[in-house]
């Protein structure tokens, strides 16, 4: 490896590609159908997964795209106060999204997103509760999601095509 070349670029890119391809970004949206402001709206989802077949990630768990140059500083893409948090217990995932204020007849969605996937074909039920400071009791909701993942193997040539076809050896300090 030459000076300024990231010798782990392909390894890092393969990990980045795997983590980004095995999940889809999902936005969580809440709509205030009422006639008064909904204050401090939060949504909490519980997803049973005792066999660990599902993948749930928040933005902090997603990798940054690697650089072929070790001279390019890496700035974390992570948000200081993400509006979506994912936690894992022994048997389930818990996803919390804080949406803040929602004006009457308006909708608000998450900015950071939720990344979901599965290791095998499966249909799941996501049970949720909507909380707000001025809601007398949490509202329940549910969603059914069907996953049909497929395994993909890539050759080095195919991986190169996904990295814009440039090898780190062909990059100079100015060609980035």
> Per-residue confidence at 103, pLDDT binned at 50, 70, 90?
very high
Share of the chain above pLDDT 90, in %: 52
pLDDT at 112: 83
| Across 93-103, average pLDDT | 95
What integer pLDDT is reported at residue 172 of this predicted model?
Answer: 36
Other CB atoms within a 10 A radius of the CB of residue 9 amount to 20
- 119-162 pLDDT, tens digit per residue, is 999 999 999 999 999 999 999 999 899 999 888 787 777 777 77
Confidence of residue 71 (pLDDT cuts 50, 70, 90): low
42 touches 128 (CB < 8 A): no
Encoding tokens for residue 120?
């095998």
Using a 10 angstrom Cβ sphere, with 0-12 exposed, 13-18 middle and 19 or more buried, the burial of residue 114 is: buried
pLDDT at position 105: 96
- The model carries a pTM of 0.76
Q: CA-CA distance, 24 to 71, in Å (whole number)? A: 31
CB 99 within 8 A of CB 81: no
Across 65-78, average pLDDT? 64
Compute the distance between CA of residue 62 and CA of residue 114 in angstroms, rounded to an integer: 10
Give residue 170's pLDDT: 38
SS3 state of residue 57 = strand
Q: Residue 119 CA to chain centroid, in angstroms?
A: 16
pLDDT attached to residue 18: 84
Q: List beta partners, residue 50.
A: none
């Amino acid at each position: 490896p030459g000076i300024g070349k990231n010798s782990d670029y392909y390894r890092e890119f393969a990990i980045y590609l795997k983590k980004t391809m095995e999940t889809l970004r999902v936005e969580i949206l809440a709509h205030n159908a009422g006639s008064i402001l909904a204050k401090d709206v939060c949504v909490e989802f519980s997803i049973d997964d005792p066999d660990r077949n599902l993948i749930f990630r928040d933005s902090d768990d997603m990798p940054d795209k690697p650089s072929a140059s070790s001279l390019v500083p890496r700035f974390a893409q992570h948000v200081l106060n993400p509006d979506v948090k994912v936690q894992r217990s022994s048997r389930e995932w818990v996803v919390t999204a804080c949406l803040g204020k929602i004006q009457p007849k308006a909708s608000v969605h998450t900015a950071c997103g939720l990344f979901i996937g599965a290791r095998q074909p499966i249909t799941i039920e996501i049970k949720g509760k909507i909380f707000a400071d001025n809601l007398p009791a949490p509202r329940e909701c549910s969603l059914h999601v069907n996953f049909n993942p497929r395994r993909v193997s890539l050759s080095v040539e195919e991986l190169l095509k996904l990295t814009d076809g440039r090898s780190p050896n062909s990059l100079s300090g100015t060609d980035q």
